[in-house]
Amino acid sequence: MHPAPSVIVFSVLSGAGFGLLFYFGFGFAHPSGLMAFLWWGLGYSLAVIGLLASTFHLGNPKRAWRAFTQWRTSWLSREAWASVAALVLLAPMALSDWLDLGLPRPFGWLGGALALLTVFTTSMIYTQIKAVPRWHHWLTPVMFLSFALAGGAVLAGQSFAAVFLAALVVMLLAIWQVGDGQFARRAQTLGTATGLDRIGDVTVFEQAHTAGNYLLREMIFVVGRKHAQKLRAIALALAAVIPAGLLAISGEVWAFALAAICHLIGALAARWLFFAEAEHVVGLFYGKR
């Protein structure tokens, strides 16, 4: 799949943002005053910037409001609702923290839960796509949630962040391991896709067109294996290993800040791979995966 920067930025930032908001909602951190303004602000900004970024890849952003209409069936629509609901429902809590209104914490629980639900709905947008085997399994939501929880924990300055980051290492290794075999497990080949396997071994003789098209650009992105391995190492190091190490060394603010930056860069790399390595079955028709 084409690793569209807007989608990568969107999902990474909003994931981290909602992760952070989750911790606020449940009161793992309860800043106050200016600190609250800045910190909650960070959470809100990440979430909102992410959501805005997601509209960049729309063909018709001016109609984006319509995305709220199909919550019954569409995960994207549910995501739209969940995100707005989370942001709205957490607003009293955020205001309370900032202005010291003393709202009881349970007021944030629902919003906090919705924040995590938003991340889950985001993940389901990908998970539901049967046509992309690498995405279509339970580890995908786990992966999104892990990133949100780990990233959020770092941003929220939680002492257990290191543990979550360590868990992220396991999660990433697992999803890559599982993901790599997904397409093959589907046993979908050019032969089965076309039904011509009933005759013999099928290969592409000629492309349907020599010019580029939307499918080739959007769905058929071929990333070199070597390239991917290197990027995986980088993603793993930056998103999890290094920040975990940093936090193991120090609990200072600078360590958290550095870990957060490191983690986000690593998350971007991992997310890039999440798209770039994902193969859509339509590629089969083109003899590509």
Partner 1 sequence: MTSLPVSTEKRLGLAIDLDTCVGCQACVTACKGWNDQGYGVPLSDQNPYGAEPSGVFLNRVHSYAVQPIDGAAQTINFPRSCLHCEDAPCVTVCPTGASYKRSEDGIVLVNEDACIGCGLCAWACPYGAREMDAAAGVMKKCTLCVDRIYNENLPEEDREPACVRGCPTGARHFGDFADPDSKVSRLSAARGGYALMPDLGTKPVNRYLPPRKKDVRQDASILAPLLDIKASGFAGWLDRVLGKI
Partner 2 sequence: MTVQPKIDTSPPVSDEIRKTTCYMCACRCGINVHLKEGRVSYIEGNRDHPINKGVLCAKGASGIMQVTAPSRLRAPLRRVGPRGSGAFEEISWDEALALAVSWMKPLRETAPEKLAFFTGRDQSQSFTGWWAQAFGTPNYAAHGGFCSVNMAAGGIYTIGGAFWEFGAPDWERTKLFVLFGVAEDHDSNPIKIGLGKLKERGARVIGVNPIRTGYNAVADDWLGITPGTDGLLILSLIHCLLAAGKVDLEYLARYTNAPLLVVEDGPEKGLIAKNAESQPFVIDRRTGAPAPWDGKGVQPDLGASYQGNRTVFQHMAEKYLAGEYAPEAVAARCGIAADRIRALAAELAHVAFDQAIEIKQSWTDFRGDFHETMPGRPVSFHAMRGISAHSNGFQTARALHLLQIVLGTVEVPGGYRLKPPYPKPMEAHPTPHFVTAPGKPLSGPHLGYVRGPENLALKEDGSPVRIDKAFTWENPFSAHGLMHMLIPNAHAGDPYRIDTLFLYMANMAWNSSMNSAKVMEMLTDKTPDGEYVIPRIIYSDAYASEMVAYADLILPDTTYLERHDCISLLDRPISEPDAAGDSIRWPVVEPDRDVRPFQSVLLDLGARLGLAPMVKEDGTPKYKDYADYIVNHIRRPGVGPLIGFRGDGTAEGRGDANPDQLARYIENGGFYQAHVPEEGAFYKPWNMAYQDWAVKTSFYESPQPYLFSIWSEPMRKFQMAAEGLGPIQPPDHLRARLKQAMEPLPIWYPPFGDLEATGWGYPIHAITQRPMDMYHSWGSQNAWLRQIRGTNFLYLPTKIWVEQGFVEGDYARVISPNGGITVPVAHMAALNEHTVWTWNAIGKRKGAWALDAGASEATTGFLLNHLISELLPDKGDGARLSNSDPVTGQAAWFDLRVRIERVGAKTQSEPSFAPIPRVVPQGGERA
Residue 198 sits in the site that holds partner 1 (CB under 8 A): yes
Ramachandran angles phi, psi of 192, nearest 5°: -75, -35
Beta carbons of 16 and 122 less than 8 angstroms apart: no
Dihedral angle at the C-alpha atoms of 64, 65, 70, 72, nearest 10 degrees?
120
Nearest to 140 by CA among 281, 277, 35, 284: 277
- Classify residue 179 by burial, with Cβ atoms within 10 Å: 0-12, 13-18, 19+: buried
Q: Nearer Cβ to partner 1, position 63 or 226?
A: 63
Number of residues in contact with partner 1 under rule CB under 8 A: 58
226 touching partner 1, by CB under 8 A: no
In terms of CB distance, is 98 or 120 closer to partner 1?
120
**What is the distance between the alpha carbons of residues 169 and 167, in angstroms, rounded to a whole number?**
5
Position 209 contacts partner 2 (CB under 8 A):
yes
Stretch that binds partner 2, among 44-52, 111-119, 201-209, 266-274 (CB under 8 A): 201-209
CA 137 to chain CA centroid, nearest Å: 15
How far is C-alpha 175 from the chain's CA centre? 13
Nearest alpha-carbon partner for 158 in 22, 58, 274, 61:
22
Residue placing its CB nearer to partner 2 in the complex, 78 or 271: 78
Q: Does 203 bind partner 1 (CB under 8 A)?
A: yes
Site string for partner 2, 63-102 (x = CB under 8 A): ------x--x------------------------------
Residue whose CB is less far from partner 1, 97 or 279: 279
And the tokens for 246? Answer: 């940093």
The residue ranges that bind partner 2 (CB under 8 A) are 69, 72, 203, 205, 208-211, 213
The residue ranges that bind partner 1 (CB under 8 A) are 1, 57-61, 63-64, 66-70, 72-77, 80, 125, 128-132, 188, 190, 192-196, 198-209, 211-215, 217-219, 280-282, 285-286
